[in-house]
């Protein structure tokens, strides 16, 4: 029995009706895949192979980009790769929040496009250097030994010594 048939036998509902029901309840692709017992990448490939049954297409960024520009995600990624753009640049163009989310979305659709990657982390601004504010203000302060000596009861200036009249 195939995966779809097993799901239908377990839930008692047609596979694509069940997927649509989960999507209407607000579950995303990953949650639906887990609920049905699929690996997320396998479920995404199944949806990509059956675009007519994919209820999630109306809710994803790539579909919105296609509606706005008429350019599919594959076409956009290939164009941006030819322009020498990074994953982050492509994410900004297509509408994803960052490059790593776009990479995952492309991988889940089976798209293999080589965009430019930045080696290492982006540089952060350097910390401000300390400005020399002149001589050290603690110069000349007494050591702790001197402080203890000055505050010992025998050296206290207000205390009268015993034996004086």
The pair of three-digit structure tokens given for residue 124, joined into one six-digit string: 């952060």
Report the candidate in 3, 29, 4 with the shortest Cα–Cα distance to residue 15.
4
Domain ranges of the chain: 1-56, 60-118
CA distance 35 to 27: 10
Dihedral of CA 29/30/35/39: which sign? positive
- Whole-model pTM: value is 0.41
Contact 43/37 with Cβ under 8 angstroms? no
- Looking at residue 80, its pLDDT comes to 92
Residue 58: band (very low, low, confident or very high) from pLDDT cuts 50, 70, 90 = very low
Cβ neighbours of residue 30 closer than 8 Å, sequence gap 6 or more: 40
Report the candidate in 67, 63, 117, 111 with the shortest Cα–Cα distance to residue 89.
117
As a whole number, mean pLDDT of residues 101-120 equals 79
- Looking at residue 79, its pLDDT comes to 93
> Degrees (nearest 5) of the Cα angle 117, 122, 123?
145
- How do residues 23-56 score in pLDDT, each as one tens digit? 878 778 888 888 998 988 888 888 878 877 877 7
Burial label, 55 (beta-carbon count in 10 A; 0-12, 13-18, 19+): middle
């Amino acid at each position: 029995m195939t995966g779809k048939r097993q799901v239908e036998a377990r839930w008692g509902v047609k596979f694509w009706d069940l997927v649509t029901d989960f999507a209407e309840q607000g579950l995303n692709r990953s949650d639906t895949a887990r609920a049905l017992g699929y690996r997320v990448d396998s479920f995404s490939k199944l949806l990509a192979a059956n675009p007519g049954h994919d209820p999630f297409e109306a809710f994803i960024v790539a579909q919105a980009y296609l509606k706005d520009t008429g350019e599919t995600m594959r076409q956009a990624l290939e164009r941006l790769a030819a322009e020498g753009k990074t994953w982050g640049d492509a994410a900004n163009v297509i509408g994803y929040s960052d490059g790593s989310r776009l990479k995952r979305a492309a991988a889940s659709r089976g798209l293999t496009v080589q965009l430019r990657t930045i080696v290492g982390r982006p540089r952060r601004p350097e910390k401000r250097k300390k400005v020399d504010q002149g001589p050290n203000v603690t110069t000349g302060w007494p050591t702790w030994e001197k402080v203890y000596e000055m505050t010992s009861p025998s050296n206290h200036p207000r205390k009268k010594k015993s034996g004086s009249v």
